[in-house]
Homo-oligomer: A and B are copies of this chain.
């Protein structure tokens, strides 16, 4: 959004370098929240219900899960669909193409991390 103020410096320095390094923060802050990428990953791999996600991450609390799901939907990384013709109605989450594209980069990051740190 053009309205968002980016409070990075500029001052007669290498603008190109700074502009680039500035925006990285925004991306990292958006995807870096705890559990977010794991949740996205799990959804993309078939864990698509609230309850199953809870089981998958026992140390993750309900409201954090709810919060993350909401953010992921807002960012357009996952879709939320409600299946009405079951009792009770089910909510199904699925990764969007945007989410899948992000995951492939996150996967590279993960591979790098494992190679360097494990």
Residues of A within 8 A of B (CB): 7-9, 11, 13-14, 17-18, 20-32, 34-35, 37-38, 41-42, 45-47, 55-59, 76, 98, 101-102, 105-106, 108-110, 112-114, 116-118
Interface of A is mostly: helix
Pick the contact of A56 from B13, B31, B38, B108 — CB < 8 Å?
Answer: B13
Do A37 and B24 form a contact, CB below 8 Å, given A17-B42, A105-B109? Answer: yes
Chain B residues whose CB sits within 8 angstroms of the CB of A21 once the complex forms: 37-38, 41-42
Task: Show 13 residue pairs from A and B whose CB-CB distance is below 8 angstroms, ordered by the A residue.
Answer: A7-B59, A9-B55, A9-B59, A20-B41, A21-B37, A24-B109, A25-B35, A25-B37, A26-B117, A27-B112, A27-B113, A98-B116, A102-B116
